[in-house]
Structure 1
Amino acid sequence: MLLAYPLSVHAQKRKNLIFMISDGFGMTSEAMAREFMRYGNEDTMNWASTMDTMLVGTSRTRSSSSLVTDSGAGATAFSCGTKSYNGGIGITSDKKPCGTVLEAAKSKGYRTGLVSTARITHATPAAFAAHVANRGMEDLIALQEIGNNTITHSVDLMFGGGRCQFLPKSHDDGCRSDEIDVLELAKRAGYTRLADRDAFDSLDTASVRLPVLGLFAESHMSFEIDRDEKEQPSLAEMTTKALQILDRNSQDGPGFFIMIEGARIDMAGHDNDPATHLRDILQYWEAVAAVRKFVDSHSDTLLVSTSDHETGGLTLGIDPQYEWHPEVLAPVRKSAELICSEMKRMSSDKLRDHVVNSVLPNYLGISDAGDGEVLNILSAATSPTKLCKRMVGQTVSARAHIGWTTGGHTGADVGLYAYGAGAGGLRGSYENTQIGAFLARYLDVSMGSLTKALVNEVTEQHGFSDGSSDSA
């Protein structure tokens, strides 16, 4: 079944489409954040989040290769309107490049943008502007994103992390496997390049000309709970500035299309780190609120938000108690990622004192830690990093009576949200590919001719090893 427009909306002029992806964000995550915001205040019993007020349906998340998708296949379903296998980026299940809604919009004169708190070459943003056989091929993705591909459709605006992927391996901050300086190529292609918070703040949205490339971290941007606001802009700030720039630069054309990702919601879910998961959700809410404000003043604009999948199998309430405690999350001050990184740099003779006097009371807000909790954190410090993060996160989770079934993704349906002109056309339960079809129909673009043009696109990265990719 294809999604249909209400006749009243179909007849209206359509201009801008803002597509937001809350990576790894399930319905239980929304409930957790909502209850955190209203705990201890009975007067807020009917309070709803900005997401709650625009819920229109659900999205089904399976990929072509599994009932549990990864972000590459999940984002490709949205970008191409077709199923792909886990790990595929802008590519069909038989490994053929597929034209994306962003590329189709660009070819029709729309301005385009990608914003993410992950590396801009990570799976979700990549699936809208690149075509590779494996999501780990980020060297090739970086080149394709700036237009070094068959159809040379560079993205007009990119804000996020991942600067190292644009620098040659001989550079002190480079993480490419080759000596290509993609930042220099971007400069030659006319990109205004931003490397830090100061450059972001000083960017004049009234005069800047596209294209713009802002990379504000070497790899992923910080979790919101760890973010130094003097060093990195927030997702909401990047969103607001991106909309201002695209709006101003699309006045003489059909409009703009942008994909905005709250990426680190997912990564905190992988870590089973509830307080960090929460803070990135709340920041995503702020970004959504900023978009809604934009939509309210632009009647020709639609906001659509959904998730590629749920992460962690989050449960509010663990056996046998019928309860959970949102107040436990309030005093947490650092992510499990940062805590583990810090502990692993500690000498063994200082570790116990650090755990007892800093990690538990100051970082996790646990002032009455039992012997078991102390031993758990000490054991985490000497465990592999992935396990360390989950052990730290689960220490907080146990106190809050929050459970997790996995450190990976689940096959659960996710929420579908919409606001603005045409929102009613999304009411119901849909396959993720149908949402991709909706995006294309809303913009009145077709990906078919682009798919044909991409037949000779290079989708394999020379010397790539599967072991270098992740599965977030």
Structure 2
Amino acid sequence: MSQPLLSHQLHDEESDEHDDWKDPSTSPKASSSRKYFCIISGAVGLTLVGMLMGAFLTPLDHGNECGLQHPVNLTNKPLVRIVKDPLLSTQQTTNHTEQQQKPRNVIMMISDGLGPASVSFARTYYQYINQKPYDYKTPLDSIHVGQSRTRSSSTLVTDSAAGATAFSCGIKTYNGAVGVDPQGKPCGTVLESAKHHRNMLTGLVATSRITHATPASWSSHQKDRENEASIAAQQIGDNPLGRSVDLMFGGGYCYFLPKSDQQSCRPDERRLFEEAKHNNWTTVLHGDRKAWDELDMDPSILPVISLFTSGHMSYEIDRDHTKEPSLTEMSDKALQLLSSATKETEQGFFLMIEGSRIDMAAHSNDPATHVHDILEYQNTVALVKKFVDEHPDTIMISTSDHETGGLSLARQVSAKYPKYLWYPDVLKGVKRSTAILAGDILRTNAEDRQKVVENQLGIQDITGDELKKLAKINSAKEMDIYLASMVSIRSQLGWATHGHSGVDVNLYAYGNSVDEFRGSHENTDIGHILAQKLDLDMDAITKELNK
């Protein structure tokens, strides 16, 4: 067993400091003197100002050192007011100049299933394997501005469809709903209004099937998220609005192929890639990374579809880089294409980027796979932040639709009181996801399964009971979960569920004029703020969709 990673001890020196050093200005006598001075000087100051100005100045809504509840602004700086925004659930400080700033480009990033505990877990793991100091900050840490509350209209614990629709349409809806309201009627999305009202270019990047709940909720409308064949048709332009998306990178080309194709998921013979070409999609690729790599960084290739896998793209830990680009690589190319195409225009772009498979690893309770996808998402965040730095008219937002797995950075492994340890070296030894490994083990003779586990998971202390269990399992799902449990218990990480949880998730924002995102928000607030910043009219889109 590896050595545990121990937390750094903080010196408890505060009480000593406060006993040894006292500010003489805090003594009763000094406080009394300053109180009288403040009252007198405050009264005189207010009288003189009233005589000189002859008018009331707008007060700030906070006190000052002298205890005045409405101090006068004697500086030449713009007065700051406390404004109640009807779209937000909390008051915030803003000024008129900042309110008027409108971003040209918006990058909406979604880390599917990433909860606060997973953020801490990935940071701590990264610190350990890269020998970073205990106070190291990840790309997300430095732009943390608040929290998002995730419940849907149907339950405290949301799914990805309702969660993404809250962002895209700014409404609460039921679990399973893709771009529709609680009555099942289509709701206009941020992406659609950006395209059709602002003439912005739009894009979707995901490591799931592009027809999966999150990307689908920005670009289609279905009462049931399972209708991915219909979602695919809407995404290429078969809907009342026509084509709304200019770029799609991800997985899931099976829903674009006819039923007669061996790789198809469709229930019919529609050939959506062929239809897309007739619907003015300029570049249509599937299963061809080499062709994608060779694409010219020229606006003339837009609109573009490039889907790399029949189903979801691979977990980062399993990814064959010769066949599939990473989330960072796809995002980089999307940013280059969209920024190049809008360089000479007044209109910018809207891009949604999803780290989709963070969630799926957590469904398996597979900590090593989970952390690899989180760290890849962090790489993408660093890329996007750099883009924002180079393009100050751009803002990025990052949040999660929900938390998955109920991860805890602790595990009760015996009846005794725990020792507050965890073992990151266990995760370093894992070479593949438990989902992929489960299939490999089931194809292996029972007597050889120990060797596969030792080699691929790095577990060298398999118990007799574990060997018996490995020999008996004949279901891929059961094997996936059992292998993940073997890793989790050795690293002393805990999980509460194989589903989602209802905890608040972190909210991040970067760029000029992002103060509206600070604080604790309903997930619907995010869609409202985006619409406000881009001057969108999603109600008009909703009316058009429901004609």
CA–CA distance in 2 between the matches of 1:159 and 1:6? 39
1:208-229 deviation per Cα after TM superposition (whole angstroms, max 9, x unaligned): 4310001000000000000000
Aligned residue among 420, 427, 436 for 1:338: 436
1:416 aligned residue (492, 507, 520):
507
Q: Structure 1's 128 and 40: CA in aligned 2 closer, same or farther, altered over 3 A?
A: closer
Aligned position for 2:284: 193
235-244 or 362-371: which moved more?
362-371
Query: Which structure 2 residues correspond to residues 36-115 of structure 1 after superposition, within 5 A?
Result: 36-39=125-128, 44-107=133-196, 108-115=198-205
Counterpart amino acid of 2:483? V
Kept in 1, the 8 Å contact 2:105–2:395? The answer is: yes
Q: What TM-score, normalized by structure 1, do the two folds share? A: 0.92
Q: Supply the RMSD in Å over aligned alpha carbons.
A: 1.5
- Is contact 1:271-1:393 (8 Å) kept? yes
- AA of the residue aligned to 1:100: T
C-alpha distance in structure 2 between counterparts of 1:193 and 1:40, whole Å: 40
C-alpha distance in structure 2 between counterparts of 1:415 and 1:300, whole Å? 24
**CA shift digits 1:382-404 (9 cap, x unpaired):** 13x33221111111000011111
For residues 426-449 of structure 1, the C-alpha deviation after alignment (integer angstroms, 9 at most, x for no partner) is: 110000001111111121111010
Equivalent residue, structure 2, for 1:221 = 313
Is residue 351 from structure 1 mapped to residue 446 from structure 2 by the alignment?
Answer: yes
Paired with 1:334 and 1:105, the residues of 2 have a C-alpha distance of 40
CA contact (8 A) 1:209 1:249 kept: no
Q: How does 1:375-390 map to 2 (within 5 A)?
A: 375-379=468-472, 381-383=473-475, 385-390=476-481
Mapped contact 2:298–2:341 kept (Cα < 8 A): no
Does structure 1 retain, via aligned residues, the 8 Å contact 2:316–2:373?
Answer: yes
One-letter identity of the residue aligned with 1:275:
A
Query: 1:2 offset after TM fit, Å?
Result: 1.8
Equivalent-residue separation in structure 2 for 1:182 and 1:114 (angstroms): 17
- CA drift at 1:42: 7.3
Could you tell me how far 1:357 is from its partner in structure 2? 1.2
Say if 1:109 and 1:253, in contact at 8 Å, map to a contact too: no
Letter in 2 for 1:315: S
Shift in CA distance, 43/194, structure 1 to aligned 2, threshold 3 Å: closer
CA drift of 1:174 comes to: 1.1
CA contact 2:299–2:338 (8 Å) conserved in 1? no
After TM superposition, give the deviation of residue 352 of structure 1 in Å: 2.5
- Is the 8 Å Cα contact of residues 89 and 123 (structure 1) preserved in structure 2? yes
Closer/same/farther in 2, CA of residues 80 and 38 from structure 1, 3 Å limit:
same
Q: Which amino acid aligns with 2:538?
A: M
Structure 2 counterpart of 1:203: 295
Offset at residue 41 of structure 1 (A): 7.7
Q: Describe the SS at the equivalent of 1:367.
A: coil
- Indicate the structure (1 or 2) with the bigger Cα radius of gyration: 2
Aligned partners of 1:295 and 1:301 also within 8 Å:
yes
Cα distance in 2 for residues equivalent to 1:437 and 1:265? 26
1:2 is aligned to 87
| Aligned AA (1:178) | D
The amino acid across from 1:280 in the alignment is D
| Distance of 1:297 and 1:43 partners within structure 2 | 27
1:288 to 381, 398, 406: 381
> Between the two proteins, what is the percent identity of the paired residues?
50
2:25 aligned partner: none
Counterpart secondary structure, 1:233? coil
Q: Does structure 2 retain, via aligned residues, the 8 Å contact 1:6–1:422? A: no
Q: Tell me, what secondary structure is at the counterpart of 1:340?
A: helix
**Structure 2: how far apart are the matches of 1:111 and 1:426?**
24
One-letter amino acid of the counterpart of residue 336, structure 1:
T
Task: For residue 108 of structure 2, give the secondary structure of its aligned residue in structure 1.
Answer: strand
* Corresponding residue of 1:462: none
Q: Which residue of 1 aligns with 2:495?
A: 404
C-alpha distance in 2 between matches for 1:244 and 1:48: 27
Distance 1:10 1:57 in 2: 19
Amino acid at match of 2:520: S
Residue 43 to residue 147, structure 1, CA distance change in 2 (3 Å): closer
Unaligned runs of 5+ in 2: 1-85
Distance change >3 Å, CA 392–CA 177, structure 1 → 2: same
Return the match for 1:440 from 531, 536, 544.
531
- The secondary structure found in structure 2 opposite 1:128 is helix
2:334 corresponds to 1:245: no
C-alpha distance in structure 2 between counterparts of 1:292 and 1:274, whole Å? 27
Alpha-carbon displacement from aligned partner over 1:184-204 (angstroms, at most 9, x marks no partner): 111112220122210111011
User: Which stretches in structure 1 are left out of the alignment for 5+ residues?
Assistant: 457-472
Aligned length: 449
Amino acid at match of 1:288: V
Measured in 2, the distance between the counterparts of 1:61 and 1:438 equals: 16
TM-score by length of 2: 0.80
Q: 1:6 to 1:100 in 2, by over 3 A?
A: farther
Asked whether 1:231 is paired with 2:323, we answer yes
1:13 is displaced (CA, Å) by 4.3
Question: Distance in 2 between the 1:41 and 1:280 partners?
Answer: 17
8 Å contact from structure 1 (residues 36, 327) kept in 2: no
The Cα of 1:368 is off from its aligned counterpart by: 2.5
Partner of 1:163: 253
